[in-house]
Amino acid sequence: MKITFFFSLLLFITSVFGQTRQVCFSFDDLPVVGYGITDTTYQKQLTDRLVGALVKNRIPAIGFVNEKKMYEAGQTSPYQEKLLKSWLDHGLELGNHTYSHPDYNMVTYREFTEDLLKGETLIRKLLHDKGKALKYFRHPFLHVGPTKAKADSLDAFLASHGYTTAPVTIDNEDYLFALAYHRANIKKDTAQMKRIGADFLVYMEAKMKYYEKQSIVLFGREIPQILLLHASLLNADYTDALAAIFRKNGYAFVSMDSALKDTAYRTEITVYGKWGISWIDKWALSQGKKGDFFKEEPVTPEYINKLSAQ
């Protein structure tokens, strides 16, 4: 009897407290997604809230920078530099997301790689000052190259410059919710902001569960997930609540280094297109998975599409 009791207790403890699931939080378009708001107080408050939520929840996140945002009249802004320093001072990582966010589907290899190198000037220095090296690159729009040839040449360029590609598995449309949220904020429509925030959390939990399921179908197990987010007002306000949802579902927060140690990330990709999609989708397409595999992907609510339309 005693043994049965202890066995049950052990099972209970493992299921409730066992954090077998892992997620890496990654944020694009740093220092901030400002939609043209250049007010430094606004930008600082946004960064403070976002970084604060990451620190509070002990999330070893990585932020991907577009250095173009850091220049004013040809000069780097010390103010913008402080925003990035705040990420590093709190133990968070930074990576390169190109200088001006070009679309690799639309520009040449040469144009793209020139922009990429222009985008590492400051972050390389800031990381160096912290005794760290620049390692990760995130493709704008997740566009890695529409053909094998174009993707391979960029891969070779990245490798020769010491970069590791930062993939995404939990892809989502947080940027649409964020734009709708920003517009509601401009109108000081707090009721609308709350509705968007609440629906954002429901949507993100659905995405999380969807990619858990896809991972099991593809690998027979749940791989460490990499979540794509943006440095927006919405995420400054909701990263704390989002972290609670992941924790409730048994997730531990891990770094990009840690997530990429999983062998799943060495799965071959053999299909190319103009898409910007989850690596899980790319691996699935490479293994010949068809429409049925993708059919239960959660969709963005129609009112968010409308509110974020131009």
d(CA 229, CA 63): 9
- Closest C-alpha among 172, 171, 175, 93 to residue 137: 93
CB of 62 to Zn ion, least distance (A): 13
CB of 92 to Zn ion, least distance (A): 17
Q: Going residue by residue from 119 to 158, which x/- string records binding to Zn ion, judged by CB under 5 A?
A: ---------------------x------------------
DSSP 257: H
Q: In sequence order, what are the residues at sequence separation of 6 or more whose Cβ sits closer than 8 angstroms to the Cβ of residue 116?
A: 96, 98, 99, 137, 157
Of 140 and 167, CB closest to Zn ion:
140
Of 229 and 242, CB closest to Zn ion:
229
d(CA 137, CA 128): 16
Contact criterion met (CB below 8 Å) for 215 and 221? yes
CB of 223 to Zn ion, least distance (A): 23
Q: Going residue by residue from 174 to 213, which x/- string records binding to Zn ion, judged by CB under 5 A?
A: ----------------------------------------
CB of 3 to Zn ion, least distance (A): 55
Of 61 and 193, CB closest to Zn ion:
61
Closest CB to Zn ion belongs to which residue?
28
CB of 84 to Zn ion, least distance (A): 16
Of 27 and 253, CB closest to Zn ion:
27
Of 140 and 145, CB closest to Zn ion:
140
Alpha-helix residue ranges (DSSP H) falling in the chain: 2-17, 40-56, 78-89, 109-118, 121-129, 148-160, 174-186, 190-219, 233-248, 256-260, 279-286, 291-294, 302-308
Residue 159 has which token pair?
């490798």
Q: Going residue by residue from 16 to 35, which x/- string records binding to Zn ion, judged by CB under 5 A?
A: ------------xx------
CB of 232 to Zn ion, least distance (A): 11
In angstroms, how far is CA 105 from the centroid of its own chain? Answer: 20
d(CA 223, CA 265): 9
Is there binding between residue 67 and Zn ion (CB under 5 A)?
no
d(CA 106, CA 83): 30
Of 29 and 67, CB closest to Zn ion:
29
Of 92 and 166, CB closest to Zn ion:
166
Binding residues for Zn ion, rule CB under 5 A, total 3
Please give the C-alpha separations between residue 73 and each of 32, 52, 77, 78, 295, in angstroms, as whole numbers.
18, 30, 9, 13, 48
Interface residues toward Zn ion, by CB under 5 A: 28-29, 140
